[in-house]
Amino acid sequence: NAGVMQNPRHLVRRRGQEARLRCSPMKGHSHVYWYRQLPEEGLKFMVYLQKENIIDESGMPKERFSAEFPKEGPSILRIQQVVRGDSAAYFCASTTPTGAYEQYFGPGTRLTVT
């Protein structure tokens, strides 16, 4: 049973470009969470999605960031017009729809903005 998959693992973008981060949850999981981790810090919640539905986006910056989890395919975290401050590790986690509390994390995507 494959775990949570994220790609790419590393992404380098120049300022002003767009970054697309993908997350495929574990098989049977329909809840996806995105977190961001700055160097030497803990993870900070960004957004919680179910299939075709954003449940909680209270941690998302108001501009340039968006997330989706379509009926088919992976969840996408999209960052438009990246700036150096967006450089971080972005982690995706998934859970089952049955109310489990434990979240299973992917290996993360390390975004570097030059």
Partner 1 sequence: SQQGEEDPQALSIQEGENATMNCSYKTSINNLQWYRQNSGRGLVHLILIRSNEREKHSGRLRVTLDTSKKSSSLLITASRAADTASYFCATGVNTDKLIFGTGTRLQVFP
Write down the residue that tokens 């109310």 correspond to: 99
**Piece of 21-29, 48-56, 61-69, 75-83 that binds partner 1 (CB under 8 A):** 48-56
Nearest to 83 by CA among 104, 110, 44, 114: 114
Whole-number minimum distance, CB 45 to partner 1, in Å? 4
Query: How far is the C-alpha of 35 from the C-alpha of 95, rounded, in Å?
Result: 14
Candidates 91, 94, 111, 113: give the one binding partner 1 (CB under 8 A).
Answer: 91
Q: Which is nearer to partner 1, 85 or 99 (CB)?
A: 99
Candidates 18, 44, 80, 114: give the one binding partner 1 (CB under 8 A).
Answer: 44
Q: Does 30 bind partner 1 (CB under 8 A)?
A: no
Assess contact for 79 and 86: CB atoms under 8 A.
Answer: yes
Q: Does 106 bind partner 1 (CB under 8 A)?
A: yes
Nearest to 24 by CA among 73, 65, 71, 77: 73
Whole-number minimum distance, CB 75 to partner 1, in Å? 15
